[in-house]
């Protein structure tokens, strides 16, 4: 039986390291790491390098910013015992990037379409993993506990990610909040 785990927390809270350790315990070397971040500047390139260096070399990696259904039938998906998606926040950022025609004056319908598309992709990935007996670990950012962003697009991003996180938490079997490198289990499998 597969388990869906959502791991959330703030910046540098230990989400990814905890998720990677969980995946290793669940499936050993048979993990498919789905990376959603894009290297857009030197700082992001360094973050991506650090994540790659920390992962076991045996793990398969798919760089998949969105359209998670493209994993269906791939050798790396079929061979994996666990799927680790890191992270939902970057996936939403990518969805906005590809769908918004004006970042300074974001169109509400474009943002809603991006949010709905990602929500659908996550539902499909969860269904796919459950249907194939694979454990799924989803990493996301908790952005609702910080300052109110000063731009409209940032506020709408925060709100959209909050709604997507609520959806993911409702569909997950286990939800873990990371803070100061420590896990706080919010929801356990029944």
**pLDDT tens track for 132-168:** 999 999 999 999 887 888 888 889 999 999 999 999 9
Q: What secondary structure letter does DSSP report for 141?
A: -
Tell me the CA end-to-end span of the chain in Å, nearest whole number: 13
- Please indicate, yes or no, whether the overall pTM of this predicted structure exceeds 0.85: yes
Dihedral pair phi/psi, residue 61, rounded to 5° = -125, 135
Which of 38, 47, 51, 187 is labelled catalytic?
A: 51
Q: What is the pLDDT averaged over residues 27-36?
A: 94
Question: How far is CA 50 from each of CA 16, 53, 74, 107, 150, rounded to the nearest angstrom?
Answer: 11, 5, 26, 35, 30
Query: Would you kindly state where each structural domain of the chain is located, as residue ranges?
Result: 4-187
Structural domain 4-187, CATH architecture: 3-Layer(aba) Sandwich (3.40)
Q: Catalytic annotation on 51?
A: yes
């Amino acid at each position: 039986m597969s388990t869906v785990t959502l791991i959330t927390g703030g910046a540098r809270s230990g989400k990814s390291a905890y998720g990677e350790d969980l995946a290793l315990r669940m499936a050993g070397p048979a993990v498919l790491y789905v990376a959603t971040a894009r290297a857009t500047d030197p700082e992001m390139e360094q973050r991506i390098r650090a994540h790659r260096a920390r992962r076991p070399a045996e793990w398969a990696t798919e760089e998949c910013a969105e359209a998670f259904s493209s994993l269906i039938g791939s050798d790396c998906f079929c061979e994996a015992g666990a799927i680790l998606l890191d992270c939902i926040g970057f996936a939403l950022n990518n969805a906005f990037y590809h769908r918004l025609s004006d970042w300074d004056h974001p169109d509400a319908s474009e943002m809603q379409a991006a949010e709905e598309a990602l929500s659908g992709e996550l539902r499909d990935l969860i269904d796919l993993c459950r249907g194939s007996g694979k454990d799924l670990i989803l990493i996301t950012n908790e952005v609702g506990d910080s300052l109110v962003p000063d731009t409209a697009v940032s506020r709408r991003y925060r709100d959209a990610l909050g709604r997507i996180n609520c959806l993911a938490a409702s569909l997950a079997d286990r939800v873990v909040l990371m803070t100061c490198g420590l896990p706080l289990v919010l929801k356990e499998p029944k």
